[in-house]
């Protein structure tokens, strides 16, 4: 029954997302425009493309739960999903799965499009490694998403926090300039980010890094679940779970 | 055994006391009406029973299970109607909504399909089953939301203002259906402003006033 409920949620999310498919096109176009500027600024086009895809994947998942909770609060359905027969974090994970599917479709389209234009060559792209690294950081990104989802339940509008996170990730991940050129303290800060560590892992091949990345990812997940459950409890005590 | 047991329950919102140490037991096969002015806590009462709001003190047991501690376990048995027409997904069809909500509570396959068909016929929505909710009238959305709350055939049904926005014919159908549910030994708790409707269908009526349930008719 558990997996059936998860599949039920994934199906609903995909159906709903398909109703807004023009938004997918918008996401693809903004990603493309940004990437073209990035290519103009950098010499290492392959790494820039991969890093940019990782950044896009990260921000899509990190903001997903918060965005969906806000939408459901506004439409009045948020309390309904709280009446589910399985714990809410699992149901929210099912929602994130639809975001993962969406991000893979958009990134796949972008990379194919750029290959077609001759910006990058498909054979030199570390596609398998990229997918593998994405899977390694997914639990952590989901944890961060839960953390922001919890804040949304309590504070309602956290768009400004999301903006700070998205922009920080973009610069701290070393997409625009190498992390090595940052001051020492900023290099330390940038390595708090899962995305930075994931990009590093793609640049250098070392199995120890994979394990430590996965452990950091799990720590983020635990932290996210803890904060989410705390915020949920507070909201239920205040009686503001479904308010917006 | 009681379907719902409320033990010494208290709830405050900042400086306003909504409930002060209330105790109640509700049994299967009964229709309980909940009356009271705006803001006295009718919706809070419904949400406390289904665990959407936590009490400051006291416990709520549903079929003997503490709703705060084992919420997921009991949700298959509870149907809740809240927020009316807004509680369905407008980008999905009526049919997709019904199957989604029954699935959310763990009812799938043939059982869910048969139940959905039955509810669509009862609430006169069969002809628009493949229409997206955004294109339905307010009354249709309201009836669909009611059908969704009952799509998994729950034993305990909590309804908050279920007849607002319904025309006379739909209200009559609704009342007949609620009585049928009580005959099937289910507990129905209805919060409403509609005194006449509550008097017509409920076995007992509770009036919420000044932080307590003052009067039982």
Scored b (16 or more CB within 10 A) or e, A207-238 reads eebeeebeebbeebbeebbebbeebbeebbee
Q: Note whether A15 and B93 are within 8 A (CB).
A: no
8 Å CB contact between B12 and A239: no
Check residue A26 and give its pLDDT: 87
Answer yes or no: do A79 and B83 touch at CB < 8 A. yes
pTM of structure: 0.89
Residue B211 reports pLDDT greater than 80: no
**What is the secondary structure of A219-234 as a DSSP string?**
HHHHHHHHHHHHHHHH
pLDDT at B49: 94
Which residue from B35, B45, B41, B48 is spatially nearest to B17, judged by alpha carbons? B41
Nearest to B106 among A20, A75, A85 (CB): A85
CB contact under 8 Å between A15 and B92, yes or no, is yes
pLDDT at B13 over 80: yes
Question: How close is the nearest chain B Cα to the Cα of A222, in Å?
Answer: 20
Report CB contact under 8 Å: B108, A79. Answer: no
Q: Do B13 and A16 make contact, defined as CB atoms within 8 angstroms?
A: no
For residue A205, the model assigns a pLDDT of 61
Reduced to 3 states (helix: H, G, I; strand: E, B; else coil), residue A197 is helix
Give, rounded to a whole angstrom, the gap between the first and last alpha carbons of chain A.
Answer: 31
Checking if the pLDDT of B216 tops 70, the result is no
Q: Name A236's Cβ contacts closer than 8 Å, sequence gap at least 6.
A: B51, B52, B53, B54
All structural domains of chain B with their residue ranges = 4-216
CA quadruple A21, A26, A28, A31: dihedral sign: negative
How confident is the model at residue B108, as a pLDDT? 93
Chain mean position to CA A239: 30
Yes or no: say if B150 and B157 are a contact pair by the CB < 8 Å rule.
yes
What is the ipTM for the molecules in this complex?
A: 0.88
Tokens representing B118 are 């039955």
3-class SS at B57? strand
Is the CB of A14 inside 8 Å of chain B's CB atoms?
Answer: no
What is the predicted pLDDT for the residue at A112? 83
Spatial separation of the C-alpha atoms in residues A36 and B77, rounded to whole Å: 54
Among partner residues A1, A9, A238, which is closest to B106 by beta-carbon distance?
A1
Q: What confidence score (pLDDT) does residue B84 get?
A: 66
Q: How far apart are CA B206 and CA B211, in angstroms?
A: 13
Cβ atoms of B54 and B217 within 8 Å: the answer is: no
Nearest CA in chain B to A89: B72
Query: Which residues in chain A are contacts of B75 at CB distance < 8 A?
Result: 83-85
- Kindly state the tokens that stand for A169: 């990730």
A21 interfaces chain B, CB cutoff of 8 Å: no
Homologous superfamily of the B4-216 domain (CATH): P-loop containing nucleotide triphosphate hydrolases (3.40.50.300)
Mode of pairing for the β-strands spanning B4-13 and B16-26: antiparallel
pLDDT tens for each residue of A28-70:
888 888 877 777 777 777 777 788 888 888 998 999 999 999 9
Res B93: pLDDT: 96
Contact assignment for B54 to A236 by CB distance below 8 Å: yes
Q: How confident is the model at residue B188 (pLDDT cuts 50, 70, 90)?
A: very high
Residue of A15, A76, A239 with shortest CB distance to B96: A15
Whole-Å CA distances, B65 to A85, A189, B6, B74, B129: 14, 47, 11, 7, 36
How many CB pairs lie under 8 A apart between chains A and B?
88
Q: Domain-by-domain residue ranges, chain A? A: 2-238
Q: Give the pLDDT confidence of B61-103 residue by residue, as tens digits.
A: 999 999 988 887 888 899 999 866 678 999 999 999 999 999 9
Alpha helices for chain B (secondary structure H): 42-50, 71-74, 94-104, 109-122, 138-149, 168-183, 195-201
A80/B contact by beta carbon, under 8 A: yes
A88: closest CA among A76, A75, A79? Answer: A79
Contacts of B136 (CB under 8 A, 6+ apart): B94, B128, B144
Best mutation target, A81, A239, A244, to test chain B (most B CBs within 10 A) = A239
pLDDT at B141: 93
CB atoms within 10 A of CB B121: 12
Look at residue A206 in the predicted model and tell me its pLDDT.
59
- With a CB cutoff of 8 Å and minimum separation 6, the contacts of A41 are A176
Q: B35: exposed, middle or buried (C-beta count within 10 Å: 0-12, 13-18, 19+)?
A: buried
Helix (H, G, I), strand (E, B) or coil at A25: helix
Q: Which residues of chain A have pLDDT under 70?
A: 122, 124, 205-208
Put simply, whether A243 touches B (Cβ < 8 Å) is no
**Around Cβ B124, how many Cβ atoms within 10 Å?**
14
**Spatial separation of the C-alpha atoms in residues A231 and A9, rounded to whole Å:** 22
The span from the CA of B35 to the CA of B38, in Å, is: 10
Percent of chain B at pLDDT exceeding 70: 97
Least Cα separation, residue B203 to chain A (angstroms)? 27
* Inter-chain CB proximity A84 and B72 less than 8 Å: yes
Question: Does the pLDDT at position B170 exceed 80?
Answer: yes
pLDDT of residue B215: 64
Strands, sheet with B4-13, edge to edge from the N-terminal-most edge strand: B16-26, B4-13, B57-62, B65-66
């Amino acid at each position: 029954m558990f997996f059936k409920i998860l599949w039920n949620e994934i199906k609903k999310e995909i159906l709903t997302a398909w109703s807004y498919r023009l938004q997918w096109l918008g996401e693809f176009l903004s990603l493309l425009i940004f990437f073209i500027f990035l290519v103009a600024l950098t010499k290492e086009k392959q790494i820039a493309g991969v890093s940019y895809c990782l950044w896009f994947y990260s921000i899509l998942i990190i903001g997903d739960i918060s965005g969906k909770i806000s939408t459901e609060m506004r439409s009045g359905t948020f309390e309904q999903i709280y009446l589910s027969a399985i714990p809410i974090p699992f149901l929210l994970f099912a929602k994130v799965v639809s975001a993962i599917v969406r991000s893979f479709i958009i990134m796949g389209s972008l990379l194919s499009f750029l290959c077609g234009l001759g910006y990058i060559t498909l054979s030199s792209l570390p596609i398998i490694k990229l997918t593998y690294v994405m899977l390694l950081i997914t639990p952590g990104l989901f944890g961060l998403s839960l953390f922001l989802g919890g804040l949304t339940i309590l504070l309602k509008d956290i768009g400004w926090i999301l903006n700070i996170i998205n922009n920080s990730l973009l610069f701290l991940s070393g997409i625009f300039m190498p992390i090595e050129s940052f001051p020492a303290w900023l290099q330390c800060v940038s390595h708090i980010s899962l995305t930075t560590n994931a990009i590093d892992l793609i640049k250098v091949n070392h199995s120890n890094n994979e394990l430590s990345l996965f452990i950091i990812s799990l720590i983020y997940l635990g932290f996210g679940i803890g904060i989410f459950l705390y915020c949920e409890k507070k909201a239920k005590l205040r009686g503001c779970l479904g308010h917006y | 055994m009681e379907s719902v047991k409320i033990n010494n329950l208290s709830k405050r919102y900042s400086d306003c006391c909504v409930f002060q140490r209330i105790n109640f037991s509700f049994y299967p096969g009964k229709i309980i009406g909940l009356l009271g002015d705006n803001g006295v806590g009718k919706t809070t009462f419904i949400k406390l029973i289904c665990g959407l709001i936590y009490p400051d003190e006291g416990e709520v047991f549903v079929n003997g299970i503490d709703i705060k501690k084992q919420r997921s376990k009991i949700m298959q048995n509870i149907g809740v109607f809240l927020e009316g027409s807004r509680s369905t997904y407008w980008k999905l069809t009526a049919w997709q909504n019904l199957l989604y909500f029954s699935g959310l509570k763990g009812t799938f396959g043939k059982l869910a399909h048969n139940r959905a068909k039955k509810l669509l016929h009862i609430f006169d929505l069969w002809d628009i089953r493949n229409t997206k909710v955004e294109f339905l009238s307010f009354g249709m959305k309201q009836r669909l939301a009611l059908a969704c709350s009952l799509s998994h055939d729950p034993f305990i049904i909590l309804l908050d203002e279920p007849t607002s926005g319904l025309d006379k014919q739909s209200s009559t159908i609704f009342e007949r259906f609620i009585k049928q549910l009580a005959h099937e030994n289910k507990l129905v708790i209805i919060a409403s402003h509609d005194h006449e409707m509550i008097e017509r269908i409920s076995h007992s009526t509770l009036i919420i006033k000044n932080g307590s349930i003052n009067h039982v008719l």
